[in-house]
Amino acid sequence: MPARSIVTARQARLGAELRKLRERRGQSIREASDAMGIAQSKISMMESGNVGVSAERVRYLAGQYACDDAALVEALVAMATERGRGWWEEYRGRVPSGYLDLAELEHHAAHLTNFECVHIPGLLQTEGQVRAIFEGSVPRLSEEGLETRVEFRLRRQRALEGVRYLALVHEAALRIRVADRKVAREQLSYLLESEVVVRVVPFDVDGFAGVVDPVVYAGGPVPLLDTAMVDSQHGSAFLDAEAQLVRYREVLRKVEAAALEVVESRELIHRLVREC
């Protein structure tokens, strides 16, 4: 099987999980190669996501690595046998690859939790809000580039159909005006009209320190396949090491503990609408 020219985040994740199974077994690539009669280069390419892996090969590797977690194995098999191109692939080369990886992550998530401190979560932004954010990009986008990114972000919102989604939003994000009062009012009203659960972290909460970077936590079919996507000025990082997942579960637990309940959050948003 020829090597892939493009490796998506999901393909890389499958390979990473196969590597984790091998490492939990305590085998080096050379030891695994000798034990299974598979070339070391082949194992390396599977673990990097550079080549596809059949369902039979996934089950064979899991058996050789003594993995007895049937739910995990079947989830990996499902990843290996996915066929077809997601809608986001239409935008490859037109938007940054990280945008595609995020759309793919959202599409496959069993549940999503999103914390934002500065912006309204992308899955809940109105067109006016999206457009204003991208119009403020540095360097400035071309007209075509702007329209493409607006269109892409709005299409991402289809991920909300049929998935449990919790938006944790700091009051700062609700008050920051990326455009004018009209756009701000429309955005806040949209949050009230949405059926998505939105909980607000108010300014006056005590002890809310050290939580500023946006986080998207995507639940997998089993907890070991969860992913935390952390955004920063230097780009997005997709984290899947067990210690990292434990850390971000705790981070989001603390944010939830600081957030107002749903009814109180809606009351706060109503007040902000009246202020616009």
Q: Which fold has domain 96-124+157-275?
A: Endonuclease; Chain A (3.30.870)
Domain 9-80, CATH homologous superfamily name and number:
lambda repressor-like DNA-binding domains (1.10.260.40)
Beta-carbon contacts of 151 under 8 Å, excluding residues fewer than 6 positions away, are none
pLDDT at 1 (0 to 100): 62
pLDDT at 130 (0 to 100): 98
Compare 35 and 65 and report the one with higher pLDDT: 65
Beta-carbon contacts of 242 under 8 Å, excluding residues fewer than 6 positions away, are 224
pLDDT at 36 (0 to 100): 86
Report d(CA 273, CA 275) in Å as an integer: 5
Report d(CA 224, CA 244) in Å as an integer: 11
What is the tens place of the pLDDT at every residue in 188-222?
Answer: 999 999 999 999 999 999 988 777 789 999 999 99
What is the tens place of the pLDDT at every residue in 89-129?
Answer: 999 999 999 999 999 999 999 999 999 999 999 999 999 99
Least confident of 113-122, 176-185, 205-214, 252-261: 205-214
Domains of the chain, residue spans: 9-80, 96-124+157-275
Q: Is the pLDDT of residue 23 over 90?
A: yes
Report d(CA 249, CA 130) in Å as an integer: 28
